[in-house]
Each structure stands twice: as structure tokens, then as C-alpha cells.
A and B are shown apart, each in its own frame.
Chain A
Amino acid sequence: MSEPMSLLQKKLEAGHFVVCSELGPPIGANVDFIKKKARKLVGYVDGVNVTDNQTAIVRMSSIVAAHFAREEGLEMIIQATTRDRNRIGLQSDILGASSLGLNNVLCLTGDHQSFGMDPGSKNVFDLDSVQLIRAVHNMVHKGVLLNGKEMKVPPKMFIGAAANPFGDPFEMQMMKVEKKIEAGAQFIQTQAIYNLDKFEYWMEEVRKRGIHEKAYIMAGILPAKSVKALRMMKTDVAGMDVPDSLIERMEKCEDPEEEGVKVAIEIIERVRKIEGIRGIHLMPVGWEKITPEIIERAGLYPRPEVE
């Protein structure tokens, strides 16, 4: 096996159960905003994803925001969607990110622009996520660009992909995961999990196909602080599965924030026991300050060190 590309890859290869979280860049050019958020995560996580204009809303670029967060001492995972940049822009950004010391990338298709505030914008989708994964793989491991041009100094990237265990039809979604791994994905971060029975069934299928032996799978955890947030996810977020029983539980509880933390910890405890799960990916959208508390209470603090 080739040399690890990043600290995150080293930790996974050393057999550690990893903890990743997420940071949403600001709508604006506020560097302090990122640095402040980043400092609160230092020591609690093994990697931090920086979203790429999530839900198709203009924000500071994923790479630039990741660069500033990295300066505070975090291991970063940039996200790259194929919605906004063609093959020229995407590959150029991979080179730039690697040169900044950002050596993890999550390759995504991206939400359609109709979700955001610029539904009238032209979409790109020159590549799809599988093609992007293959392109980055060839850049990193073969030293060539999509056009065949060889590079003297190739980028270093640990390559990730997303998977939605709750997407339809099940079999086709599973085939897409296989395709992503075949194309070069080394880690998988899943859609947020609330329906554990369905997730366990998905993992069963993952193991049957040997996917868990070819890529590190991190379970997506989205702590919700209110019943309103859960309902919104159920109805407005593409590809989410939120069971009614959970909505009821949040409705009945006295302290929704505390209940939200408890739910997240319960999910973490359950997914940790599943064979093939190698870490978690916390996505506390709009509630990033809760990350350290959840990690501590889930018994995942302190984080391991690797050489």
C-alpha cells in the first residue's frame, strides 16, 4: 500500500475509530468566524469537513475556509461538488488544496442549484461524483490529469465519497457506492442516520459485497436541537429518513437540546458496534458548538495521536 496521504488516513490505517465533524463557511469574508469555530474543535476531532456552497448557497470557498481552519491546528477535509466547477476548475482546485496542505477531499455531486438562493444560475455537472473520484485518483496515484497530461509533482489526497443508505432504489444506490470505490474512493461518509434498523440492513449489504474492506466507512450523525429541525429534515432535505417515533420523542421531551444530544449519543453507541463502521461524521448543522460535548459524553475524548 502506498504511503498515507493525510493524518486522517494514518489514523484509520492504524485502526483508530475516527471522529470527523463539519464546519460551514460564512456567507461573507469573515476569517475570524472560521478561526473561532475551528479553535473550539481542536483536540476533539480527527478531521473536519468544510462544505462546498452547501444547499447551493454562496459561501466562502471550501478550500479557503479549510486553509484558515487548518492554521488553527485542525486536520481538514475539503468538499468538492461538481455542480459549480467543470473538470478544469475542479482539478485546478485539487492542485491548489494539496499545495496548501489540505490532503483530504470528499467528492460530491452537490445539491441542485434550485435548492439555494440562485435557482436561475447555470449548473455545470461536467463530471459526476464518480468521474471526479476517478479523476482525483488518477491525479494522485498516477500523476496524470484527465486530459492525460503528466505532472512532475502530483497532489496528495485521501479520497472520500458520500453514500446515502436511505436513497431509492436501494440496489441502484448500493451499486453506485461500489462504483465510487472502484473509481478510487478510500473513505465513505454516510448521509445522517436516524433510522438505525434501515442503516443496519444497509451495512449488512455493504459487508456482503465486501465494501467495508475496501473503504473506511464513517457513519453520519446529525444532532438535532429541536423537533422543528427534525421535521424540516424529514420534509425539506433531499434523501433523509427521519422516523416518526423520533419526532414524537422530541415532541414529548422537556429539554429538546438535551434530548438531541442523547439521541446523537445513542446513535453513535449503536453504530460503533456495527462491523465495518470505522468512525463517525458529526454534522451539527447550525449547532456546531455542541460537537465537543457530544464527543466527550460519547466517550470519544481524547482523540488518538499518530506519528
Chain B
Amino acid sequence: MIVGQQKKAEEIIKMLGEDWDSLLIAGCGTCVTVSLAGGEREVEALANLLKIYYGKKGKKVTISTDTVTRQCDFEFIDDIGEKIEDHDVILSLACGVGVQHLVERHPQKVVFPGLNTSFYGATTGVGEWAERCVGCGECILDRFGGVCPVARCSKSLLNGPCGGAQDGKCEVDDDIDCGWELIYNRLKDLNLLESLLVFEDPKDWQHYRDGGPRKLINKEYYNE
């Protein structure tokens, strides 16, 4: 899923400015709900906080809330289409995809991002998420024992570790596991260590961001 982190209240308040009377805080019910950043609960909490803030300041505002299933589908955005049009500004607590999709559906509206979109990750503990994939567009997990060197090695090395790791920890930070040690341990368990000697060609980064913004069409379903 996409993991997000809510921006600090001060940043949000500064971003919103003064030039509005009504604000809709729009949550997203999928990924960022799971990462406890932009779901219904966070939307309500932020609304309460902003109401107190503007109340104390003496600014008369209307702050409404709503959370849709997914902001990355027009179908769900349209559930609150009228509400969006009724408010001066929108604060989206979806990931960057959701924010832009709102903008696309409501081109006349000012939409602010309430989250920082962090990464694609998994839940690794209570209140903890970790990056597992960068979306390189050409999956190579088959050759690395199911541990991604692109996402989990700080240098995205494909032909083995650098010399900087110590005690299984990355040279960048002791909190980061050396991705290559994870690959090594996994291949050892699978009795596939010899595969570490296979030369891995330079990756074709065109499938990643380096080929420009990506688009996918499934011809079976696509309606021109």
C-alpha cells in the first residue's frame, strides 16, 4: 500500500492561508487509512484541531469533513462532488495521487495536500511501516530470493553488497537492515547462494520514473 504521513498542523495552517471561509477536509478510505494518516479518524481529529485554532483566532469558518473509499477513482470522488463544489478550499488527506485526481475532477477548486506521501510499504509493527518496493516497473524479485535490492539496498546495487555494511546494518543508518545481507540469508536458506555469482546486467530504468511519467493501458478493458 501507499504509506503516508500527515503534515504538521503549523504547515497545514500556513498552506491554507486566510483567503477562504469554508474548508472541506477529504479523507481517503484505503491505503492512508491503514497507515493511520488520512482516514476518517485522522480527518475528524484534524478538523477539531483546526476548529479550535480558528476559533481562538476569531476567524469565522466552516469546516466540514468527508471520507471516500478511494480518491484515486472518479467514481468515489463523485460521491462527494457537490460537497466539494460547495466549499472554498479542499484539504485532501489522500496520497499525492488522490490530491491530483481531485484537482483533475474539480479543476476550478483549490486543493491542498495534507499528507506527505512516503513510500510503498508494508505494516511491520503496530504503528510501523517499511518500504518494500519502489515501483521500478520491471520486477526482479525472482532472482533475489524475494528480497528487492532496488528498494532495500540504499544504493540499489544489483551485483552484491557494498563494503560498508556492518553487523547486518546499512552504512547509511544502523536502523536500516543491509538489503544484501537479507538477500544473502534468504538465498542461503534456499540453497541458492551460487546465484550470487551470476552477473546482473544494468537495469533498464525506462520502466521506472526515468522514462518519464508512466501510463498503463490494459487493451482488454480499455475504451477509447
Chain A positions near chain B (C-beta within 8 angstroms) = 82-83, 87, 109, 111-112, 114-115, 123, 125-131, 134-135, 146, 162-164, 167-169, 171-173, 175-176, 178-179, 182-183, 191, 238-239
Residues of chain B from 165 to 224 with CB closer than 8 A to chain A in the complex = 165-168, 171-173, 178, 180-181, 184, 193, 196-197, 199-202, 205
In the complex, are the beta carbons of A173 and B163 less than 8 A apart?
A: yes
Alpha-carbon distance A26/B199, docked complex (angstroms): 36
Q: Which of B4-12, B15-23, B151-159 is the contact stretch?
A: B151-159
Q: Given A128-B157, A130-B159, A112–B202 Cβ distance below 8 Å?
A: no
Question: Closest approach, in angstroms, between the C-beta of B174 and any C-beta of chain A?
Answer: 12
Alpha-carbon distance A167/B170, docked complex (angstroms): 12
In the complex, are the beta carbons of B197 and A178 less than 8 A apart?
A: yes
Alpha-carbon distance A168/B159, docked complex (angstroms): 15
Question: Closest approach, in angstroms, between the C-beta of B103 and any C-beta of chain A?
Answer: 26
Chain B positions near chain A (C-beta within 8 angstroms) = 154-168, 171-173, 178, 180-181, 184, 193, 196-197, 199-202, 205
In the complex, are the beta carbons of A112 and B160 less than 8 A apart?
A: no
Q: Given A128-B155, A130-B199, A167–B163 Cβ distance below 8 Å?
A: yes
Q: Smallest CB-CB separation from A133: which chain B residue?
A: B159
Which of B157, B193, B196, B199 is in CB contact (< 8 Å) with A125? B157
Label chain A's interface by main secondary structure.
mixed
List 28 interface pairs A-B (beta carbons < 8 Å), by A numbering.
Answer: A82-B155, A83-B155, A109-B157, A111-B164, A115-B171, A123-B155, A128-B156, A129-B159, A129-B162, A130-B200, A131-B158, A131-B200, A131-B202, A134-B199, A167-B164, A168-B166, A169-B184, A171-B184, A172-B160, A173-B160, A173-B163, A175-B193, A175-B196, A176-B160, A176-B161, A238-B163, A238-B166, A239-B166
Alpha-carbon distance A218/B139, docked complex (angstroms): 38
Contacts of A162 in B (CB 8 A): 163
Alpha-carbon distance A125/B156, docked complex (angstroms): 7
In the complex, are the beta carbons of A169 and B181 less than 8 A apart?
A: yes
Looking at A115, A172, A239, the one whose CB has the most chain B CB atoms below 10 A away is A172
Q: Smallest CB-CB separation from A240: which chain B residue?
A: B166
Q: Smallest CB-CB separation from B169: which chain A residue?
A: A168
Q: Given A131-B201, A146-B202, A238-B166, A179–B181 Cβ distance below 8 Å?
A: no
In the complex, are the beta carbons of B201 and A239 less than 8 A apart?
A: no
Contacts of A126 in B (CB 8 A): 202, 205
In the complex, are the beta carbons of B197 and A112 less than 8 A apart?
A: no
Contacts of B180 in A (CB 8 A): 172
Contacts of A168 in B (CB 8 A): 165-168, 178, 181
Alpha-carbon distance A28/B206, docked complex (angstroms): 36
Alpha-carbon distance A83/B162, docked complex (angstroms): 12
Contacts of A175 in B (CB 8 A): 160, 193, 196-197
Contacts of A127 in B (CB 8 A): 202
In the complex, are the beta carbons of B166 and A125 less than 8 A apart?
A: no
Alpha-carbon distance A169/B163, docked complex (angstroms): 10
Looking at A114, A123, A176, A183, the one whose CB has the most chain B CB atoms below 10 A away is A176
Looking at B160, B162, B180, the one whose CB has the most chain A CB atoms below 10 A away is B162
Looking at B164, B166, B172, B200, the one whose CB has the most chain A CB atoms below 10 A away is B164
